[in-house]
């Protein structure tokens, strides 16, 4: 089987280009979708961050609005009684959980201290003392100084008792905030406050609003006209939770830090995360997304040190809040869950997978087509090879068939062979008149006893081959050989009117052929020939090694003419003589006994008439004889068959 040739690489170019284009477009689409996902995520994050910042800003503004309202209340009255103060702040205190307390902090000079502590200033407060916190954190009486700013009116009082009478000016941070509010005339927000160390679990902011004399509140104020401060302490956690209530923060933690120092100046212009820069004291609030609750400072410190990543790496966004002249930074910190989601671009991966799948379809189709084309080509090559082999086989078969036909024609007459090839089962024909010749080589039996079989067959083959050529030359049909006997007939299978004359001519030529053979081989053979004319039946007999043979009295009489003949002579019957008497010279032999026929008149053919040419002799020109001889050499000369001699 021929070796399969590899497919040329050029045929893979369409599939390769399709694969490259498909993969390239899929990767490009994946990148585009991934960038779109990043932008969409960034947009959603910015929208969320802006929403959270706006909510916190709004809640701080709403909750701290009570301070300007309370300031207007004090500015509108010459003197505010504790009951009036309590009544005014009762509603906001009860509705705003972020308000730890609201207070009136008057400016008390050293000369007024005794009056305030004696309760004679308002007539409602008894056992009032101006206190401060010492270095040990203990509440003690305030030391003497020119001015005091004690918490005088306080609502709600319950839970905030320790803040009552506390001199805000005793603490440097509060004193700075009071002075800034006094000097600017604006509301000031402090950093985280610790008025009650025992209750420092919640971080709070202090909001301070200065109150001046009525005529100066909204015009040119001066420190000398200061009456005191409206102060509010707000819980950052409550504001934070109220602002984030109903807002899903996803997987982000929130960290609120102070950007302003106690003097009201920005600490720095950087947006760095406070814990990353060592500024833990700026902490205001931390919202843990896992618990959805605010976490206090000590726990926050532990939370921010987990995950094995830096705080800066956790920061994914920052917004700035402005409250009361103070700026706060709202940091959005990533969590492990957020980082896991952040790295998943499922849409882009889906686009890539779909693109590769769609690329796979035409590439697979092209490769399958190439494979099928290759199979078809191989099949075509195989079929071509088989066709060539078949053609060679047919050619060889044709040659063998021609050879077989030649062999068949050497056995059967051509018309009979054609009829036999047409699968005609029975071939038998009657002929009204034919001429049959029997010839026997006299002395051949004695020769067989003194030479080898091979030499005997060679001699017999040479003689009969010469006879075969003569039969072809004269257009006669050789029937068979029996030992050293030779049988030929004229007038079948195709009828011819000169069949007797053709047999006579062949008989004369056979005598000449024997003479030539004797001269060449130094032998003394003679030939005995018998001829008779009459009707016969001709046909093919047998299914194995079949032959074309004749039957009838004509055959028997012709055989008797030969067997009762004279060696070296041509004996013919009276029937044949009647047809040839004007063309040849004859000698009457007379009557001879013939088995089964009685006495029959016979003649001996002596030769041709010397002065007369028959129609047959005219037709048999030299050129015709040459062509007949050439044909006989090709068709008969090499295939003469000889039967064993019977004596």
Give residue-wise pLDDT tens across range 55-74.
888 888 888 888 888 888 88
Please state the domain extents for the chain: 65-247, 250-344, 410-635
Is pLDDT larger for residue 470 or for residue 417? 470
- 316-342 confidence digits (pLDDT tens): 778 888 887 778 888 888 777 776 766
> Tell me, what's the pLDDT at 263?
53
Instruction: Choose from 26-40, 190-204, 257-271 the range with maximum mean pLDDT.
Output: 26-40
pLDDT band at residue 126 under the 50/70/90 scheme:
low
pLDDT(291) > 70 = yes
Exposed, middle or buried by CB within 10 Å (0-12, 13-18, 19+), for 216? middle
Is pLDDT larger for residue 151 or for residue 337? 151
For all residues of the chain together, what is the average pLDDT? Answer: 79
pLDDT(630) > 50 = no
Starting at the earlier edge strand, list the strands of the sheet with 188-193: 153-155, 99-106, 226-235, 204-212, 188-193
Please give the average per-residue pLDDT across 382-411, as a whole number.
Answer: 82
pLDDT(580) > 50 = yes
pLDDT(51) > 60 = yes
Please give the average per-residue pLDDT across 237-242, as a whole number.
Answer: 81
Mean pLDDT lowest among 156-165, 325-334, 390-399, 414-423: 414-423
pLDDT(486) > 90 = yes
Question: CA distances (Å), 354 to each of 347, 357, 362, 385, 620, in order?
Answer: 10, 5, 13, 46, 96
Mean pLDDT lowest among 298-302, 387-391, 615-619: 615-619
pLDDT band at residue 632 under the 50/70/90 scheme:
very low
> Tell me, what's the pLDDT at 414?
67
| CA angle 484–486–490, rounded 5-degree value | 175
Assign 590 to helix, strand or coil.
strand
pLDDT(424) > 80 = no
Is pLDDT larger for residue 190 or for residue 203? 190
> Tell me, what's the pLDDT at 634?
44
* Beta pairing partners, 594: 598
> Tell me, what's the pLDDT at 214?
64
Is the separation of the CB atoms in 203 and 192 below 8 Å?
yes
> Tell me, what's the pLDDT at 616?
54
Tally of residues, the chain: 647
pLDDT(623) > 60 = no
> Tell me, what's the pLDDT at 611?
60
Is the separation of the CB atoms in 417 and 408 below 8 Å?
yes
Query: First-to-last CA distance in the chain?
Result: 60
Is pLDDT larger for residue 119 or for residue 330? 330
Q: Determine if the peptide bond prior to 453 is cis (ω within 30°).
A: no
pLDDT band at residue 248 under the 50/70/90 scheme:
low
Q: Where are the alpha helices (DSSP H) in 201-321?
A: 236-244, 297-303, 311-314
Q: Is CATH 3.30.70.1230 correct for 410-635?
A: yes
- For domain 65-247, the CATH class is alpha beta
> Tell me, what's the pLDDT at 536?
92
- 229-238 confidence digits (pLDDT tens): 999 998 887 8
pLDDT band at residue 645 under the 50/70/90 scheme:
very low
pLDDT(270) > 60 = no
pLDDT band at residue 636 under the 50/70/90 scheme:
very low
Report the DSSP pairing between strands 570-573 and 526-541. parallel
Both tokens of 99, joined, read 């308000």
Would you say the CATH fold of 410-635 matches that of 65-247? no
pTM over 0.85: no
Please give the average per-residue pLDDT across 106-125, as a whole number.
Answer: 75
Instruction: Choose from 77-91, 119-133, 252-266, 534-548 the range with maximum mean pLDDT.
Output: 77-91
Query: At 435, which helix (H) or strand (E)?
Result: strand 428-442
Is the separation of the CB atoms in 471 and 506 below 8 Å?
yes
Please give the average per-residue pLDDT across 621-643, as a whole number.
Answer: 40
pLDDT(123) > 50 = no
- 13-29 confidence digits (pLDDT tens): 888 888 898 889 989 98
Strands (E), 295-335: 315-323, 326-334
pLDDT(643) > 60 = no
Tokens 């030992």 locate to 483
pLDDT(566) > 80 = yes
pLDDT(411) > 70 = no
Residues above pLDDT 70, as percent of the chain: 77
Is pLDDT larger for residue 383 or for residue 624? 383
Please give the average per-residue pLDDT across 220-228, as a whole number.
Answer: 77
pLDDT(297) > 70 = no
Strands (E), 563-617: 570-573, 584-594, 598-608
Residues above pLDDT 90, as percent of the chain: 18
Is pLDDT larger for residue 405 or for residue 551? 551
Is the separation of the CB atoms in 209 and 67 below 8 Å?
yes
> Tell me, what's the pLDDT at 577?
94
């Amino acid at each position: 089987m021929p070796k399969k040739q590899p497919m040329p690489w050029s045929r893979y170019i369409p599939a390769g280009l399709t694969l490259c284009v498909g993969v390239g477009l899929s990767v490009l689409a994946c990148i585009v979708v991934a960038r779109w996902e990043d932008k969409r995520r960034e947009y959603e994050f910015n929208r969320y961050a802006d929403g959270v910042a706006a909510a916190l800003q709004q809640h701080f503004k709403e909750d701290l609005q009570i301070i300007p309202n309370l300031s207007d209340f004090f500015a509108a009255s010459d003197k505010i009684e504790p009951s009036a103060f309590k009544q005014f702040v009762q509603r906001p205190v009860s509705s705003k959980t972020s308000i730890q307390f609201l207070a009136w902090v008057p400016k008390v000079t050293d000369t007024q201290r005794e009056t305030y502590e004696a309760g004679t200033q308002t007539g409602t407060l008894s056992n009032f003392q101006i206190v401060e916190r010492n270095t040990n954190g203990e509440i003690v009486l305030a030391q003497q100084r020119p001015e005091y700013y004690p918490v005088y009116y306080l609502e709600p009082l319950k839970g905030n008792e320790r803040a009552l009478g506390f001199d805000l000016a005793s603490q440097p941070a509060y004193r700075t905030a009071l002075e800034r509010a006094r000097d600017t005339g604006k509301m000031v927000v402090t950093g985280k406050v610790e008025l009650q160390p025992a209750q420092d679990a919640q971080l709070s902011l202090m909001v301070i609003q200065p109150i001046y004399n009525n005529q100066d509140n909204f015009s040119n104020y001066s420190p000398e006209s200061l009456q005191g401060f409206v102060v509010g302490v707000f819980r950052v956690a409550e504001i934070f939770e109220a602002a984030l209530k109903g807002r899903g923060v996803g997987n982000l933690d929130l960290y609120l830090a102070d950007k302003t120092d106690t003097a009201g100046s920005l600490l720095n212009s950087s947006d760095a995360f406070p814990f990353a820069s060592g500024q833990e004291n700026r902490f205001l609030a931390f919202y843990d997304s896992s618990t959805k609750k605010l976490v206090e400072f000590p726990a926050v410190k532990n939370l921010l040190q987990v995950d094995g990543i830096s705080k800066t790496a956790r920061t994914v966004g920052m917004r700035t809040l402005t409250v009361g002249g103070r700026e706060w930074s709202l940091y959005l910190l990533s969590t492990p869950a957020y980082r896991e989601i952040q790295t998943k671009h499922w849409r882009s991966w889906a686009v890539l997978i779909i693109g590769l799948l769609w690329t796979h379809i035409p590439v697979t189709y092209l490769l399958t087509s190439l494979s099928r084309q290759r199979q078809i080509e191989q099949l075509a090559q195989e079929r071509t090879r088989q066709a060539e082999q078949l053609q060679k086989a047919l050619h060889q078969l044709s040659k063998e068939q021609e050879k077989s036909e030649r062999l068949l024609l050497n056995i059967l007459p051509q018309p009979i062979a054609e009829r036999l090839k047409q699968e005609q089962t029975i071939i038998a024909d009657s002929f009204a008149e034919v001429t049959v010749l029997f010839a026997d080589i006299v002395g051949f039996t004695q020769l067989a006893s003194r030479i080898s079989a091979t030499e005997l067959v060679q001699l017999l083959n040479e003689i009969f081959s010469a006879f075969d050529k003569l039969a072809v030359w004269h257009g006669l049909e050789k029937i068979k050989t029996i030992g050293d006997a030779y049988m030929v007939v004229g007038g079948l299978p195709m009828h011819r009117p000169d069949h007797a004359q053709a047999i006579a001519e062949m008989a004369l030529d056979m005598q000449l052929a024997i003479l030539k053979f004797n001269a060449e081989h130094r032998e003394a053979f003679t030939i005995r020939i018998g001829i008779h004319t009459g009707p016969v039946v001709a046909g093919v007999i047998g299914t194995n090694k079949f032959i074309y043979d004749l039957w009838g009295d004509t055959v028997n009489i012709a055989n008797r003419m030969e067997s009762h003949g004279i060696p070296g002579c041509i004996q013919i019957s009276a029937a044949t003589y009647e047809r040839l008497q004007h063309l040849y010279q004859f000698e009457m032999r007379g009557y001879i006994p013939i088995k089964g026929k009685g006495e029959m008149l016979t003649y001996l053919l002596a030769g041709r008439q010397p002065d007369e040419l028959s129609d047959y002799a005219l037709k048999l020109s030299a050129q015709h004889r040459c062509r007949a001889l050439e044909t006989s050499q090709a068709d008969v000369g090499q295939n003469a068959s000889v039967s064993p001699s019977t004596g």
